[in-house]
């Protein structure tokens, strides 16, 4: 049953990823990406990292995807048909991207078959207290560094959005 669910999630992830790159409507590919992220969060639960899975949902779905949808909405016209990509011809750089992707996939699958532990899937759940203690002791410096980075992003976004007034 649990193995079946694993393959189900994997299937959703692959299908939605393929749909996301092949659909001509950009907004649909963003929502297909949502399904893909969701399935990946499910796979992360199987990897016994439920904290990462929920963080993944929160950051990618709650943050990045919503920003992307807003970006598409605000940059394009209101009509749905305005957001259409042309994919009639395949140019050289698309072949290059294909080669890179396939080789990355082959390398990863080679390492997976070579080194992955052959254990059965079971769920335990992560100990949040250990994560918290590790963040505030061993990884305190990167943690603080990241928060300073995010704070500066926050401040500069406010500055960029305010600049228009002065220019006019």
Sorted by sequence, the CB contacts under 8 Å of residue 3 that are 6+ apart come out as 121
Question: Is residue 51 within 8 Å of residue 81, measured between CB atoms?
Answer: no
Site for another protein in 78-107 (CB under 8 A): 78-80
- Does position 143 interact with another protein (CB under 8 A)? The reply is no
Among 25, 43, 48, 143, binds another protein (CB under 8 A): 25
- Does position 126 interact with another protein (CB under 8 A)? The reply is yes
- Does position 125 interact with another protein (CB under 8 A)? The reply is yes
- Does position 137 interact with another protein (CB under 8 A)? The reply is no
Q: Give 6's Cβ-side CA count (13 Å radius).
A: 12
Cα separation, 135 vs 143, in Å, equals 7
# of chain residues touching another protein (CB under 8 A)? 28
Cα separation, 72 vs 5, in Å, equals 33
CB of 163 to another protein, least distance (A): 20
- Does position 54 interact with another protein (CB under 8 A)? The reply is yes
- Does position 68 interact with another protein (CB under 8 A)? The reply is no
What is the DSSP annotation of 17-38?
HHHHHH-SBHHHHHHHHHHHHH
CB of 94 to another protein, least distance (A): 26
Cα separation, 20 vs 35, in Å, equals 10
Which residues of the chain form contacts with another protein (CB under 8 A)? 25, 27-28, 31, 34, 38, 50-51, 54-55, 57-58, 61-63, 65-66, 69-70, 73, 78-80, 125-129
């Amino acid at each position: 049953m649990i193995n079946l669910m694993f393959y189900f999630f994997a299937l959703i992830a692959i299908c939605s990823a393929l749909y996301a790159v092949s659909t001509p409507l950009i907004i649909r590919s963003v929502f297909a990406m949502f399904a893909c992220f969701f399935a990946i969060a499910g796979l992360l639960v199987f990897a016994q990292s439920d904290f990462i899975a929920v963080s993944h949902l929160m950051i990618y779905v709650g943050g990045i995807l919503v920003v992307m949808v807003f970006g598409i909405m605000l940059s394009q016209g209101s009509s749905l048909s305005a957001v259409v990509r042309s994919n009639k011809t395949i140019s050289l750089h698309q072949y290059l991207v294909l080669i890179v992707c396939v080789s990355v996939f082959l390398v990863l699958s080679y390492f997976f078959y070579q080194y992955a532990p052959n254990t059965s899937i079971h769920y335990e759940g992560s100990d949040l207290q250990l994560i918290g203690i590790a963040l505030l002791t061993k990884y305190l410096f990167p943690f603080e560094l990241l928060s300073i980075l995010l704070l500066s992003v926050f401040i500069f976004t406010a500055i960029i959005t305010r600049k228009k007034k002065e220019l006019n």
